[in-house]
Structure 1
Amino acid sequence: MNYMNKMKLFFLSATIMLTALVIVTQYKDKVVKAKQTLNATELGASPYSCRNGLSSLSSLEDQWLDYFKAGWTLNFGTSPASSSNLDSLNSTFTPMVRIKQNRDSNGNYLNSYYTIPSIASIRQTAQNYPGRLWFLGNEPDRVLVQDDIYPQMFAVAFHDVAEAIKEEDPTALIAIAGLIQPTAGRLQYLDIVWDTYYSLYNEPMPVDVWNMHGYILAEKMPDGTVGPARIALGTDPALGVWGSDLTPTSCNLQSNPNLHKDNIYCYAEHDSQPILRQHIINMRKWMKEHGQQDKPLVINEYGSLFTFWDFDDPINPTHCFLQDENGKCFTEPRVSNHMLASTAMFESFTDPALGYPADGYRMVQQWLWFTLFTDATGESSNLLVDNYTSFAVGDPNALTQVGETFKNIIDDEPLFTNLKPTNIPSLAAFRESGTATVTLTASIVNVGTLDQTTPVNISFYSDSNLTQLIGTVSWNSLIRGCGLPNFGTTVSVPWQLSTPGVHKFWVQVDSANNIPESNESDNVAQGVVLVDPINSYLPIISR
């Protein structure tokens, strides 16, 4: 073969590689210090379980968060009601940006939006409080209620707000607004948002955490009026879920054969566990179909929205303001049972086909009860009695039965960390001057209920017995619990290899065994490096 043909073969060779090789500087020390930028306080670490959250709508309610040991909280704004300092609470505060579409004086939608607070204020908060989970919007799908924005406009707003936050804080987590329920019409809304975003920006939506609400509500009524949830804005009304006229016959479909049981939500089903479970499946299926299975799903609002007023007996009423099709009211015992059943389901619901792999295929990572106290919609879910301000903070006499139930659930919640290595890539490399230098990387995930706030060592080994050390990284920043992403917790060490072929390596989290964990058997993961992979030569056409 002449020289020219050899050169052609060289430039036309296609290297079979598993991932791109990153060349690193000469490895000088067995222990490498990972880049540290955020500490536990800056990230809003909580001493309570990250699974269970509570909404708190006033500064007076904020005082009760410690009593209920809420691991996280929100108030539908970007700072706690009791302080402008997001770190003032032991419950991790999660800011929410409200995103609404502008209308003209006649109520017509305009091709623009506004945020509450302003983009400038959002940027400042992101600068001051890095590493937060941000919710962008609240029920944007509801006409004239909550954020009320068409899906096409929401896609634009999501892009702009997410970009502003990430520019100020690359470690921030971005969660999408919770739709009131993942029914067919709502998922069509989400489809339009997703497709619009891709068509405008030529990339998938950069959602770090997916979100939904855990309600069951009719979207349209048999008499043609709107249901409690309303038809999702900008979607096909035919997809809307029917409601009933509060009679047993309408709920049982005896009076209207055109309504099908699978497409009707009775008032009696507002606390249906099978339907709530199906909603979670609906959302997780949508996520998988859009390549998002490997992301957390949170429920940042669930509870009972139906009122319990004008009753004759608080436990066994014969009448009340709102009775379901079976004549039953939404009493404290009923709402308490809904809380118990829902929480138990969230805790145990796993599905290897749909769930989040990093969290043991759990379907839901976090959930938040609405609310500590409100005198409006949702008051049947209150944890505190109407005159709770007459009692000292922590006085159990200020609790409703629902509040007692929540307290008992939290008191029984196990607190633990469980660290695992994840995202171990397979690598390929060529030797240069007889040696190939590769960068081994791994991420850390914490699927425990507690944030990890003390230093963690991550070690890389070249043998399964974990005796031949390649290198160790010391990680000193917070690692969120509940399987949430932890930006910045990807660690790396260089490895020099002088022989061709397959080289296996092992990664061990907490290699010094300093951290008590619920499961010590999942701290090790394996990867592989292929040195000098076989070249595939393309044919040459020459004259």
Structure 2
Amino acid sequence: MRAKQRRLRWPAGFWNIAGPIFIVLAMTHQGSLPPPSYIGSDNERAGFGVTTQISDFDVSLLNGGWFVRWDVQPAPAEPAGYIYMPMLRVTGSTFIPSGVELAAGVANNLGRTWIIGNEADNIWQDNVLPQDYAVAYHDAYFFIKQRDPTAQIAINGVTQGTPLRLQWLDLVWNSYRARYGSDMPVDVWNMHTFVLREQINSWGASIPPGVNATQGMLWEIDDHDRVDLVQEQVIRFRRWMKDHGQQNKPLINTEYGILMPINFGFDYARVTRFLNGTFDLFNSLRDPTLGMPEDDYRLLQRWCWFSLDSEQFEGQYVRSLFNHSTRQLTPIGQAFAAWGHNHRTWYSDLQISAGPTYSATWAVFAEQPSRFTLNAAVSNTGNLATGPFAVRFGLGSPDQVAPPIGEAALSAGLPARHSPPGNMQVAWEQVVSQTLTVFAQADPYDMVREFHENDNTKTMTVTPPVVLDLKLSDLHTTPRSWPLVPPTVTVTVPLSVDISNIGGRGVSGDLEVQFWQGRPDIGTHLGSVILNAQNAASLPVVANFAWPNVAPGVYRIYAYIPPAPDDADVDNNQIFIQVSVPVARTFLPAIRRR
């Protein structure tokens, strides 16, 4: 409940040797793989809220995993491997940032989890009617997903897991279905677990906007740190998720903590007990009937302590993880750090983070191979650097028994997360007459110990353009600058021109390339070259023509392909250059008159 002042290629044959070695080494890793888990290390489930600048504090001491700032940072600092979760703020049915600013934020935060609003159910925070929040969420969701399909979208953190707040959430859910004809497409569910009174004109969280009630949970100040009430909220929210077909989704808690000051009895010792109690609770809560199956049926996947650095809440002095003046850990921060240290597991996690993609040089002749360069970027999102590994490219899927297209190795491995990805590339030649599926698979020999491998493979489709579109380029002489020629001498000038196919459908039969002095429609035809799949079977395709009996002079020379009726663009079927055959001048000796 952030206050309103925030208000509130390796050499040929390499793999013949290295591959078997990798396989033997990989066998030594089997049996030591950690069990499947939503998050690689439990310490990374714990995060914190930052009200100033995270770089002002040595957050590596805390041994946590993520943070929020209640904003969208275009270039967020993510020290010590912490993961930033951007947040939009909602006003009515709109949100900020939006438009160009939000588009830039998305481009700079690819693959992040986006939180849409902050306590929209709370009149002291975003304060949004349910029907308006449904619109804002819909528009923000599709704006972000259209620009980054890898993004995860979370609802705003509902202030508390109480019946009154879930009534507000029901109104949002039903409003979305009524307006858009489908359930809300939520990737990540989100709640807060404050223990606050729900009553008009009283301390606490009051009544959610759009809910017809005057009171809800009438908790007292001394209930504020009751772990059992926190547990009730998580279970109640998870039950709501199951009732709405959302049990398989993650649930995160993007803000909770102690908002009461020391003069209300909440000293360091009491707050520290609450932190340790809730951290242990969140990390251990499991229920096969309610929890997330992918995460060993845990009820809560991540939680975020309020706060790293704020020592003020609504005019009262409260406790943070760091002393804002000395930049030293407080006793609460020390408790956070100790818990994280005791719950850390070292792991690596490779993923294809970009691609695979390809660039193509399409075959000029039908049934001849096109030439491709395949690319994929591999990142390590774990907290431990990897050793060497390979990336395999192939047709179909890795489960199919087929020779791979090729492999590339990253012998140095990758550092821990937030380091630049490894960019892998292989060359490939293939006859492509229909759409093909190509995969990129990181670590096919299981060299890297990962906590899960479901993101090691990604696919793309290679689809040839359905048109024929021949293009001429780089018409030149050999040599490109012609030497001096005596005035009475003629020479043979070799001409060359490159032929490419911008379309994916190649030429059937012969291809004539004509050479002209002057424009093809009005000039002098110098001769032609006939090419076909037998005499020009490989790429690049080049037409070479010997232009005989050329006297010194300057000539405008064209190369031209008479276009087929179905050539998509005839304008690029010709090209010209100025050819200069310079004359060698003769200078007679001077004769002196007598």
Q: Which runs of 5+ in 2 are unaligned?
A: 1-18, 20-38, 351-380, 418-440, 456-594
Q: Does 1:57 align with 2:51?
A: yes
- 3-state SS of paired residue (1:237): coil
What's the CA shift string for 1:279-308, capped at 9, x where partnerless? 001110111111111100011111101112
- 3-state SS of paired residue (1:364): coil
- 3-state SS of paired residue (1:182): coil
1:413 corresponds in structure 2 to 343
Equivalent residue for 1:123, pick from 100, 103, 121: 103
Contact between 1:175 and 1:211, CA under 8 Å: does it hold in 2? yes
- 3-state SS of paired residue (1:57): coil
Number of aligned pairs?
Answer: 356
The code of the aligned residue for 2:272 comes to S
Equivalent residue for 2:69, pick from 65, 72, 75: 75
Change (3 A) 1:205 1:413: same
CA shift at 1:167, angstroms? 1.3
Q: Does 1:95 align with 2:86?
A: yes
Looking at structure 2, the residues matched to 179 and 66 of structure 1 have their Cα atoms a distance apart, in angstroms, of 29
Equivalent residue for 1:402, pick from 311, 314, 332: 332
Q: Does 1:288 align with 2:242?
A: yes
- Whichever structure has more strand as a proportion of its residues is 2
Change (3 A) 1:457 1:286: farther
Change (3 A) 1:87 1:56: closer
2:187 corresponds in structure 1 to 208
2:220 corresponds in structure 1 to 266
- 3-state SS of paired residue (1:402): helix
Looking at structure 2, the residues matched to 291 and 452 of structure 1 have their Cα atoms a distance apart, in angstroms, of 38
1:148-167 paired onto structure 2 within 5 Å = 148-167=127-146
The code of the aligned residue for 1:180 comes to T
Change (3 A) 1:291 1:456: farther
1:179-328 paired onto structure 2 within 5 Å = 179-220=158-199, 225-237=201-213, 240-242=216-218, 265-308=219-262, 320=263, 322=264
Larger-gyration structure (1/2):
2
- 3-state SS of paired residue (2:318): helix
**Structure 1 segments (4+ residues) deviating >4 Å:** 45-49, 417-420, 448-460, 466-478, 508-511, 517-520
- 3-state SS of paired residue (2:203): coil
CA shift at 1:72, angstroms? 0.8
Q: Determine what percentage of the aligned residue pairs are the same residue.
A: 32
Q: Does 1:516 align with 2:441?
A: no
Looking at structure 2, the residues matched to 191 and 418 of structure 1 have their Cα atoms a distance apart, in angstroms, of 40
1:311 corresponds in structure 2 to none
Change (3 A) 1:191 1:48: closer
1:373 corresponds in structure 2 to 309
- 3-state SS of paired residue (1:86): coil
Contact between 1:335 and 1:380, CA under 8 Å: does it hold in 2? no
Looking at structure 2, the residues matched to 161 and 167 of structure 1 have their Cα atoms a distance apart, in angstroms, of 10
Contact between 1:69 and 1:91, CA under 8 Å: does it hold in 2? no
What's the CA shift string for 1:497-519, capped at 9, x where partnerless? xxxxxxxxxxx997633233569
Looking at structure 2, the residues matched to 155 and 452 of structure 1 have their Cα atoms a distance apart, in angstroms, of 42
CA shift at 1:237, angstroms? 1.1
The code of the aligned residue for 1:66 comes to S
Change (3 A) 1:97 1:278: same
Looking at structure 2, the residues matched to 297 and 416 of structure 1 have their Cα atoms a distance apart, in angstroms, of 24
Q: Which runs of 5+ in 1 are unaligned?
A: 1-30, 32-44, 102-112, 243-264, 309-319, 323-328, 390-397, 421-447, 461-465, 482-507, 524-543
Equivalent residue for 1:85, pick from 75, 82, 85: 75
Contact between 2:198 and 2:215, CA under 8 Å: does it hold in 1? no
Contact between 1:98 and 1:115, CA under 8 Å: does it hold in 2? yes
What's the CA shift string for 1:367-389, capped at 9, x where partnerless? 11111121322853401225225
Looking at structure 1, the residues matched to 403 and 215 of structure 2 have their Cα atoms a distance apart, in angstroms, of 56
1:27 corresponds in structure 2 to none
The code of the aligned residue for 2:302 comes to Q
Contact between 1:417 and 1:517, CA under 8 Å: does it hold in 2? yes
CA shift at 1:408, angstroms? 0.9
Contact between 2:45 and 2:303, CA under 8 Å: does it hold in 1? yes
What's the CA shift string for 1:348-378, capped at 9, x where partnerless? 1111000001111111111111111213228
Change (3 A) 1:456 1:166: farther
Contact between 2:247 and 2:291, CA under 8 Å: does it hold in 1? yes
Contact between 1:457 and 1:472, CA under 8 Å: does it hold in 2? no
Looking at structure 2, the residues matched to 142 and 217 of structure 1 have their Cα atoms a distance apart, in angstroms, of 11
Looking at structure 2, the residues matched to 471 and 185 of structure 1 have their Cα atoms a distance apart, in angstroms, of 60
Contact between 1:416 and 1:518, CA under 8 Å: does it hold in 2? no
Looking at structure 1, the residues matched to 168 and 391 of structure 2 have their Cα atoms a distance apart, in angstroms, of 44
Q: Does 1:349 align with 2:285?
A: yes
Looking at structure 2, the residues matched to 458 and 348 of structure 1 have their Cα atoms a distance apart, in angstroms, of 39
Looking at structure 1, the residues matched to 259 and 176 of structure 2 have their Cα atoms a distance apart, in angstroms, of 32
Contact between 1:48 and 1:69, CA under 8 Å: does it hold in 2? no
TM-score normalized with structure 2 length: 0.53
For CA contacts below 8 A with separation 6 or more, give which structure has more relative contact order. 1
TM-score normalized with structure 1 length: 0.58
Contact between 1:71 and 1:92, CA under 8 Å: does it hold in 2? yes
CA shift at 1:452, angstroms? 9.4
- 3-state SS of paired residue (1:137): strand
Contact between 1:185 and 1:236, CA under 8 Å: does it hold in 2? no
The code of the aligned residue for 2:60 comes to D
- 3-state SS of paired residue (2:101): helix
What's the CA shift string for 1:415-442, capped at 9, x where partnerless? 244989xxxxxxxxxxxxxxxxxxxxxx
1:392-471 paired onto structure 2 within 5 Å = 398-417=328-347, 450=383
Contact between 1:135 and 1:177, CA under 8 Å: does it hold in 2? yes
CA shift at 1:275, angstroms? 1.1
Change (3 A) 1:196 1:472: farther
1:333 corresponds in structure 2 to 269
Change (3 A) 1:468 1:78: closer
Looking at structure 2, the residues matched to 456 and 277 of structure 1 have their Cα atoms a distance apart, in angstroms, of 45
Looking at structure 2, the residues matched to 335 and 405 of structure 1 have their Cα atoms a distance apart, in angstroms, of 10
The code of the aligned residue for 1:212 comes to M
Looking at structure 1, the residues matched to 386 and 297 of structure 2 have their Cα atoms a distance apart, in angstroms, of 24
- 3-state SS of paired residue (1:388): coil
1:42-53 paired onto structure 2 within 5 Å = 49-53=43-47
Change (3 A) 1:130 1:61: closer
Looking at structure 2, the residues matched to 206 and 131 of structure 1 have their Cα atoms a distance apart, in angstroms, of 17
Structural RMSD (CA): 4.0
